[in-house]
Structure 1
């Protein structure tokens, strides 16, 4: 853990953080999303201050659309999908879901939140990879918002 002081995370930011943990379990252990929802909602500190409705929306939406999200991400990857670190894979799926489904959230916010999650959970330079992939996807699916 870094000793740098972190600003307090928003309720949605905390929901994203917990969603990454749940998606990781889904990717690695193939745990059913409904089981994950119950697991995280039952843990005493599981959801904490996180927005429970947003957690549920993120988890179920990302799992439900995983094949389509993967197809959107693959053209922007610099390695085969099977070589992705599961943490980075989870972060990319979540970021792609928000870019595609939550157009009310500015694309820069989605990418920044994903990069922050990669800094917390990912490999040392994983955040750079996440940033590059989601930036390319945003330019494709949010071209009007970005202006090009």
Structure 2
């Protein structure tokens, strides 16, 4: 595992999920292909990229249910970028037990610094901290069917 390749996979996954949500396109595959054509795939953990996108896309309802109690507003009121950063991070916390939650939180903060508004990184940090405390990081992951 190379951290830079993982970070790049997260960055591109966020772009795909954002474009998919904004466009309301049913085919996430076309968006993935478009994003990948614009980047050098040598610098991306491709397996991780595909896992994040499919994991988040297939489990949006479950992820949103985990996020919602940690918010001071309704999830539909969140900016698309913040919402998708939280979804990626929560997916990693509950599905990827091999990645320490502190790393996941840090990566979420970094994504927010790159793509979010001025204070997005503080918001992401607060929500993820609250989620960790609520769930004690031992909650089992259940895949929506």
Q: Is the 8 A contact 1:99 1:141 kept in 2?
A: no
Cα gap change, 1:47/1:84 in structure 2, threshold over 3 Å: closer, same or farther? farther
Give the equivalent residue in structure 1 for 2:89. Answer: 95
How far off its partner does 1:46 sit? 5.6
Match of 2:125 among 128, 131, 145: 131
Structure 2, unpaired ranges of 5+: 139-145
Q: Could you report, residue by residue, the CA deviation over 1:29-86 in whole angstroms, capped at 9, with x for unpaired residues?
A: 1232222222223x14264511111100000101101100000000001111121011
Higher relative contact order (CA 8 A, sep 6+): 2
Match of 2:7 among 13, 26, 35: 13
The alignment yields a C-alpha RMSD, in angstroms, of 1.8
Cα gap change, 1:80/1:15 in structure 2, threshold over 3 Å: closer, same or farther? same
Q: Distance in 1 between matches of 2:40 and 2:73?
A: 33
Q: TM-score, normalised by structure 1?
A: 0.85
Q: Is the 8 A contact 2:93 2:137 kept in 1?
A: no
Q: TM-score, normalised by structure 2?
A: 0.86
Structure 1, unpaired ranges of 5+: 1-8
2:34 is the alignment partner of 1:39: yes
How far off its partner does 1:139 sit? 2.2
